[in-house]
């Protein structure tokens, strides 16, 4: 199973570490703040208090064994860059780094990180999209042109098949999954859980309460909205 290291346990880093851990992945959480590390120790496999700019300290906690490192340091741009350079020198193949500004992001790209995340900017974009299009539940930016959206289907979609709706031709969007709440019998009786239909067929019918996962441009999703 893939192993992760999260360096910098602020709001962004701690959220990433907790989510990965909850999904069953082994996470090494690193920060120089002992209180942040103590909090993280409640939900990750390993949490250590070290100076992540110190290569020897990173090697001592086995950082070279992780498959992916997430640098969540934001406010201290110098530390963010130093840690990223150190991880590259150690040989971490996949590095995802948080950037505070466009310049910070460009420096990280020059260093050779796998992906730059603009947490505050992306959060602002999501908030704006939610205000403009309330049916957009979630949004993932893939590139300047394309994004993945989780949306509530318009009322006139209900009861129709994907073939009848012909979303690709009409809106230039591809439906890649359908989320649906179903009742599942358990020891405690019937429970409602969300089931995901990956690669739905043209004959699948949209029902009330469904959520559509679509891929396309912002312009295309605006047209649908």
Q: What is residue 120's predicted lDDT score, i.e. its pLDDT?
A: 67
Domain boundary pick from 117, 133, 163: 117
Q: Which residues of 76-108 are buried (b: 16+ CB within 10 A; e: fewer)?
A: ebebbbbbbebbeeeebeebbbbbbeeebbebb
- Do 9 and 113 share a structural domain? yes
CATH at 183: 3.30.70.1450
Q: What is residue 132's predicted lDDT score, i.e. its pLDDT?
A: 47
Instruction: Please state whether the predicted TM-score (pTM) of the whole model is above 0.85.
Output: no
Q: What is residue 217's predicted lDDT score, i.e. its pLDDT?
A: 84
- Strand order from edge to edge, sheet including 26-31: 46-49, 26-31, 3-7, 68-71, 94-98, 115-117
CATH at 85: 3.40.50.720
Q: What is residue 134's predicted lDDT score, i.e. its pLDDT?
A: 52
Q: Counting runs of H as helices and runs of E as strands, what totals does the chain give?
A: 9, 11
Please give the average pLDDT of every successive group of 10 residues along the chain, which has 225 residues.
Answer: 91 89 91 94 94 94 94 89 95 91 90 85 56 57 74 91 93 91 76 84 93 86 74
Q: What is residue 147's predicted lDDT score, i.e. its pLDDT?
A: 80
Q: What is residue 33's predicted lDDT score, i.e. its pLDDT?
A: 94
Q: Domain range holding 62?
A: 3-117
Chain-centroid distance of CA 194 in Å reads 19
- Do 113 and 10 share a structural domain? yes
Q: What is residue 66's predicted lDDT score, i.e. its pLDDT?
A: 95
Q: What is residue 201's predicted lDDT score, i.e. its pLDDT?
A: 93
- Do 141 and 181 share a structural domain? yes
Q: From the CB of residue 17, how many other CB atoms can be counted at a distance below 10 Å?
A: 29
Q: Which residues of 154-189 are buried (b: 16+ CB within 10 A; e: fewer)?
A: eeebeeeebeebebeeebebebebbeeeeeeeeeee
Domain boundary pick from 117, 137, 156: 117
The span from the CA of 38 to the CA of 188, in Å, is 35
Strand, coil or helix: 21 = helix
Phi, psi of 154 (to 5 degrees): -55, 155
């Amino acid at each position: 199973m893939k192993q992760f290291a999260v360096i910098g346990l602020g709001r962004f880093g701690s959220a990433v570490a907790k989510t990965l851990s909850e999904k069953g992945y082994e996470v090494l959480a690193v920060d120089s703040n002992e209180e942040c590390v103590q909090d993280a120790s409640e939900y990750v496999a390993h949490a250590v208090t070290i100076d992540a700019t110190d290569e020897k300290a990173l090697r001592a906690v086995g950082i070279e064994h992780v498959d992916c490192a997430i640098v969540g340091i934001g406010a201290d741009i110098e530390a963010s860059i130093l840690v990223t350079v150190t991880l590259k020198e150690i040989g971490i193949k996949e590095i995802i780094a948080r950037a505070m500004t466009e310049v910070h992001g460009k420096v990280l790209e020059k260093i050779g990180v796998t992906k730059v995340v603009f947490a505050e900017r992306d959060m602002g974009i999501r908030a704006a999209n939610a205000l403009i299009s309330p049916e957009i539940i979630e949004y993932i930016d893939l590139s300047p042109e394309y994004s993945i959206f989780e949306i509530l289907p318009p009322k006139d979609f209900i009861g129709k098949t994907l073939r009848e709706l012909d979303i690709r031709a009409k809106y230039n969007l591809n439906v890649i999954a359908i989320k649906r709440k179903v009742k599942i019998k358990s020891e405690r009786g019937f429970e409602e859980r969300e089931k995901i239909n990956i690669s739905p067929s043209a004959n699948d019918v949209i029902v009330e309460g469904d959520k559509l996962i679509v891929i396309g441009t912002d312009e295309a999703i605006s047209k649908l909205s």
